Amino acid sequence: MFIRLDALSVWRNKEVKERLNWYYQVMCNIKPAKFLICKRLPSTIDLKNSSEDELWREHEILSKNFQEVYNKINSNELKLDEMEKPSQNFLDLKAELLKRIITHCHLCEWRCGVNRIEGKRKGACKLNSLTRVSTWFHHYGEEPPLVGIGGSGTIFFTGCTFRCCFCQNWDISQDPLNGAEVDSKKLAIIMKNLREEGAHNINFVGGEPTMHLHTILDGMKILNVNVPMLWNSNMYCSLEAMKILIDVIDIWLPDFKYGNDSCAIRLSKVPKYFSVVSRNHAIAQAQGDMIIRHLVLPNHVECCTKPVLEWISKNCKRALVNIMAQYHPDHLVLSQPSKYPEICRRPSNEEMREAYKYAEELGLIYEPVS
């Protein structure tokens, strides 16, 4: 068996344990995952015959109820077993809302408005309503708190909402037909097997998982094992998608790449980057445990690394930060002559030292290690 010692010793670090306390307790089966709490919250609304606005009003009420119940469970005032199993619950309501959302899709901030159920792939992500998964496995290369002994139960969804010229997973992210079709039942079996084989969490990634949220929620409806849900995303989700996610995600693993919109447009072809991604980071950190990833790009320390770290230090005080050095030129950056000459090399030692020094000056816990 492969064991990473840092994945075991990391939990001796008080700061890490305190900041990832909810995730740790779910991982160890001391507390139920948030999606299991949602299943105990009754929803009495007529799902089929209510308008989308009516469903959102019900969602707002249940989200407040969820917070109260979650706080009680977190402080040991209430146990999940003491709550009855309602015939219709908060997850059913979320799943119905997602079915409606993808008929005029605004799962992410492209807000294409296309009907993905009709089968055509007209949105910016080029996906219809079918979900495809490239692969899934126990991942031992994630951050130490996510790995443990059994690895992170990582599921790679197909497609992406970004077009990063340096994407290292471009075969998954840029080909909407990559992988195999997976419905909610298959997804629930994948999640169950990963957990029962020892995975410490279910890690939704890609490509990007946002476009597949409807299948993911339906899978959670079927899943009956306790496991922390981890959202590993570019954080370009719509506000509506964030509202759905906030009550079911136990730990967030978001990417914060760019410190301004012009770098995001040039390198990932995505508009309004900073306002959308910073908004979503702020929402997520107010509600849950979080490790933020920042990939240092060569020649982007001043325009991206420093503003991102500064924003995190002011707005996500509880988050751990992973400042990543593993960038290498890939995908479109490798074309000759390259249209992206400034990122045609790895970040230098000097650039990495500068990034770490800046994080230290800001008081960030920049590597979740023991």
C-beta separation of 4 from 152 below 8 A: no
Please count the other Cβ atoms lying within 10 Å of the Cβ belonging to residue 349.
9
Burial class, 84, CB count within 10 angstroms (exposed 0-12 / middle 13-18 / buried 19+): exposed
* x-or-dash string of contact with ligand SF4, 64-83, rule CB under 6 A: --------------------
**Selected range binding ligand SF4 among 51-59, 109-117, 166-174, 243-251, rule: CB under 6 A:** 109-117
**Minimum CB–partner distance for residue 208 and ligand SF4 (Å):** 9
C-beta separation of 53 from 101 below 8 A: no
Chosen residue from 40, 106, 195, 257 binding ligand SF4 by CB under 6 A: 106
C-beta separation of 233 from 255 below 8 A: yes
Chosen residue from 10, 107, 235, 319 binding ligand SF4 by CB under 6 A: 107
| Number of helical (H) and strand (E) elements in the chain, helices listed first | 15, 8
**Selected range binding ligand SF4 among 99-107, 138-146, 190-198, 216-224, rule: CB under 6 A:** 99-107
**Minimum CB–partner distance for residue 115 and ligand SF4 (Å):** 9
Does 112 participate in binding ligand SF4 (rule CB under 6 A)? yes
Chosen residue from 63, 152, 161, 169 binding ligand SF4 by CB under 6 A: 161
Does 164 participate in binding ligand SF4 (rule CB under 6 A)? no
Chosen residue from 17, 72, 111, 293 binding ligand SF4 by CB under 6 A: 111
Chosen residue from 24, 70, 110, 166 binding ligand SF4 by CB under 6 A: 110
- Supply the angle between the helices 306-315 and 349-362 in degrees, to the nearest 10: 20
3-state helix, strand, coil in the chain (%, to 5): 45, 10, 45
Tokens 């606005």 correspond to what residue?
Answer: 53
Please, which residues have CB within 8 angstroms of residue 366's CB and are 6 or more apart in sequence? Answer: 320, 321, 322, 323, 356, 359, 360
Residue among 18 and 118 whose Cβ is closer to ligand SF4: 118
Dist. CA 275–CA 348, nearest whole Å:
29
Q: Report which of 15, 16, 7, 284 is spatially closest to residue 143, judged by C-alpha positions.
A: 7
**Selected range binding ligand SF4 among 49-57, 78-86, 110-118, 272-280, rule: CB under 6 A:** 110-118
What amino acid is encoded at 258 in this protein?
A: Y
What is the secondary structure of 182-223 as a DSSP string?
--HHHHHHHHHHHHHTT-SSEEEESS-SGGGHHHHHHHHHH-
Residue among 160 and 220 whose Cβ is closer to ligand SF4: 160
Q: Report which of 253, 80, 290, 74 is spatially closest to residue 153, judged by C-alpha positions.
A: 253
* x-or-dash string of contact with ligand SF4, 208-247, rule CB under 6 A: ---x------------------------------------
Residue among 92 and 240 whose Cβ is closer to ligand SF4: 240
* x-or-dash string of contact with ligand SF4, 123-142, rule CB under 6 A: xxx-x---------------
Rounded to 10 degrees, the C-alpha dihedral 133/134/137/143 comes to -100
Burial class, 238, CB count within 10 angstroms (exposed 0-12 / middle 13-18 / buried 19+): buried
Residue among 107 and 167 whose Cβ is closer to ligand SF4: 107
**Selected range binding ligand SF4 among 22-30, 33-41, 106-114, 172-180, rule: CB under 6 A:** 106-114
**Minimum CB–partner distance for residue 123 and ligand SF4 (Å):** 2
**Minimum CB–partner distance for residue 225 and ligand SF4 (Å):** 28
What is the secondary structure of 141-167 as a DSSP string?
SS-HHHHTTT-EEEEEES--S---TT-
**Selected range binding ligand SF4 among 111-119, 264-272, 299-307, 331-339, rule: CB under 6 A:** 111-119
**Minimum CB–partner distance for residue 209 and ligand SF4 (Å):** 11
Does 173 participate in binding ligand SF4 (rule CB under 6 A)? no
Residues engaged in binding ligand SF4 (CB under 6 A): 105-108, 110-112, 114, 116, 123-125, 127, 161, 211
